[in-house]
Amino acid sequence: MSIGKPTNTKQAELEQADWYNLADVRDGLTRTERVILYCLHQAQQELGQRNVPTAMLYGRVLEFVDMSQQEFQTILCRFISPR
């Protein structure tokens, strides 16, 4: 699985499209949510522990997706909230 930054302007324009943020039909995750979980998993493996500092996770996520701290915190809260 290869997750990365857009390599050209056409792909950058696609990220701004409304459909780009639609949830995937397989599991209901958006690309941004998937990137956060991917980065969390990688950090957990590297640190050898379950807990990953939020600031560290945010920094890793920014390598893949441009997002505000507020948006990042909102997604994290959605992950931990009971349904």
Measuring CA to CA, which residue among 57, 18, 55 is closest to residue 37? 57
Query: Within 10 Å of residue 79's Cβ, how many Cβ atoms?
Result: 11
**Per-residue pLDDT, 2:** 52
**Per-residue pLDDT, 81:** 85
Task: Look at the chain and count its residues.
Answer: 83
**Per-residue pLDDT, 46:** 95
**Per-residue pLDDT, 45:** 94
**Per-residue pLDDT, 82:** 75
Low-confidence stretches of the chain (pLDDT beneath 70): 1-25, 83
Rounded to two decimals, the pTM is: 0.71
